[in-house]
Structure 1
Amino acid sequence: MSARAAELSGGSTARAGNEVLLEPEGPSNEWLGMVLFIVSEAVMFGALFAQYFYNRILSDEWPNRTGLPAGFDRVPAFPLPVILTLVLVASGFSAHWAQSAIRRDDRDAFQGWMIVTILLGLAFLGGQAFEYTNLIVNEGFSISSGIYGTVFFSLTGLHGLHVTAGVIVLSGVLIRAFLGHFSSRSHFGVEGSVLYWHFVDVVWLLLYVTLYAL
């Protein structure tokens, strides 16, 4: 294949000896796999959100009082959930800055911002654990507390599992970074993990609006 033919076919060219090789352009299989994975996760959360709104529409009042502890109204939207939201949003920025750093081969900044992102993720999980403990132990509100308890703990618990998975993945990326595995030309592990982390951020913002604010 001539270099001209390769250009017309939409790919870039590389020469190996006397042979011109076509290097296809476009999304890699890794990127397509990551996108499909996130889409499948989004569908799962979407189904839970749909179930939540279905239950809410059918209820005469919300939260539905059936199964709720005496004197318990609803999970407060302030101050802890707001703090958790700010923490997770901040982690999204630090993840982006880590990604930008490795794109320009600034390894020190990349590792530093990745550490910040992981610590913020752990802070979020610690805050969620504190919230759960207070609700269950002090308020008597749990996943078995009627429809409201079921949807609240199902959605926030599933999201918490995704944050945990994200922290584990980011920690693996950080370890690989210390081993020198990433550069500006080869860092899909960073790109994929940051994309996943942004997905986790967006889901939490939707959760906050749906479960706490509305």
Structure 2
Amino acid sequence: MASAQHGQDHYYVPESSPWPIVAMISALLMVFGLALWINAVGLGAWIFFAGFILLAVMFYGWFSDVVRENLSNVYNAQVSRSFRQGMFWFIASEVFFFLSFFGALFYLRTIALPWLGGEGYLAMTHQLLYSGFEAVWPSAGPQPTAGEFEAMGAWGIPALNTAILLSSGATLTWAHWALKKNDQKQLIWGLIATVVLGFIFVGFQAYEYIHAYRDLNLTLEQGIYGSTFFMLTGFHGFHVIVGAIMLLAVLGRAIKGHFSPHNHFAFEAAAWYWHFVDVVWLALFVFVYWL
């Protein structure tokens, strides 16, 4: 009771933790190992995966400590607001991360490509260097090196994945309603459905990449179209995997009965992230696949 009362009266400050140092070491190993791996030097791949495993251990240990603190009732309203503000700014940073890629796509399509095609004040450059180049999107650029390719259409797996991801947002909202009315069974089934749909999305995207490389000759080497296509969809796919893992952890906690209608920030944080991923995909579908 004294601990609970202390949590209500004071902003909780945790004890010294080894996890920030572990995070630093894991990041160092991953970056160092990746640099060696890319340059085909020695044990680069092993060092990278050792850092990745250490990173996973760090996440598990650190978040386990936070869960124990939450269940010990040491957090007050101000701590809860801090968690929400932190998640808000994290998602805000992710918004600007994707905006940078969408900005690059906009610049390439509406400014750089017309210039290379002879529009504006670079018409003389076009005549001297790329007189046979037509500024038509999709394009590998004025000097393609990987042969002809076919652009990925919107009405197939991308449209199916759009329906899947939007459906996952609906099942997650259904789970959220259940949590607010303290319906444990509906909460668990809603989370299960969301996680399953998320991994189905990733599976279809992996198949789409295989189809792109094998049948369309659409690779990272296909100039500006190939690089922007795989960078945008690839990073989004990575975020879907991260979001699905977050929801899987939330599902485990829901099964253990950790959440109540008035104490479920972990669920809310994962849900915010998942809905953010949904919105980014809608923008991807329109500007990368459709237009």
State the TM-score bracket (shorter-chain normalisation).
Answer: 0.7 to 0.9
1:73 is matched with: 150
In structure 1, how many angstroms separate the alpha carbons of the residues matched to 2:145 and 2:192? 40
Question: Which structure would you say has the larger Rg?
Answer: 2
1:42 is matched with: 95
Query: What displacement does 1:169 show?
Result: 0.2
Quick one: which of 279, 282, 288 aligns to 1:202? Answer: 279
Percent identical across equivalent pairs?
38
Q: TM-score, normalised by structure 2?
A: 0.64
Aligned residue identity for 1:147: I
Aligned residue-pair number: 195
Q: Aligned with 1:28: secondary structure?
A: helix
2:234 is matched with: 157
Q: Aligned with 1:73: secondary structure?
A: coil
Output aligned runs, 1:8-157, within 5 Å: 28-57=81-110, 58-59=112-113, 60-66=135-141, 67=144, 70-157=147-234
Poorly superposed stretches of 4+, deviation over 4 Å: 21-27, 68-71
In structure 2, how many angstroms separate the alpha carbons of the residues matched to 1:85 and 1:97? 18
In structure 2, how many angstroms separate the alpha carbons of the residues matched to 1:119 and 1:90? 11
- String of CA shifts for 1:111-140, please: whole Å, max 9, x gaps: 000000000001100110000000012222
Aligned residue identity for 1:41: E
In structure 2, how many angstroms separate the alpha carbons of the residues matched to 1:175 and 1:181? 9
Q: Residue 88 of structure 1 contacts residue 201 of structure 1 at CA under 8 Å; is this kept in 2?
A: yes
Q: Aligned with 2:91: secondary structure?
A: helix
In structure 2, how many angstroms separate the alpha carbons of the residues matched to 1:83 and 1:175? 28
In structure 2, how many angstroms separate the alpha carbons of the residues matched to 1:80 and 1:68? 28
In structure 2, how many angstroms separate the alpha carbons of the residues matched to 1:71 and 1:172? 44
Q: Residue 151 of structure 2 contacts residue 218 of structure 2 at CA under 8 Å; is this kept in 1?
A: no
Higher relative contact order (CA 8 A, sep 6+): 1
The reply on whether 1:187 has 2:259 as its aligned counterpart is: no
- String of CA shifts for 1:58-81, please: whole Å, max 9, x gaps: 212111143375453311111111
Aligned residue identity for 1:56: R
In structure 2, how many angstroms separate the alpha carbons of the residues matched to 1:72 and 1:37? 37
In structure 2, how many angstroms separate the alpha carbons of the residues matched to 1:68 and 1:52? 20
Structure showing the higher helix proportion among its residues: 2
Q: Residue 68 of structure 1 contacts residue 141 of structure 1 at CA under 8 Å; is this kept in 2?
A: no
Structure 1 residue runs of 5 or longer lacking an equivalent are 1-15
Aligned residue identity for 2:98: F
In structure 2, how many angstroms separate the alpha carbons of the residues matched to 1:90 and 1:206? 16
Query: What displacement does 1:100 show?
Result: 1.2
Aligned residue identity for 1:42: V
Structure showing the higher strand proportion among its residues: 1
Q: TM-score, normalised by structure 1?
A: 0.86
- Backbone CA RMSD of aligned residues: 1.9
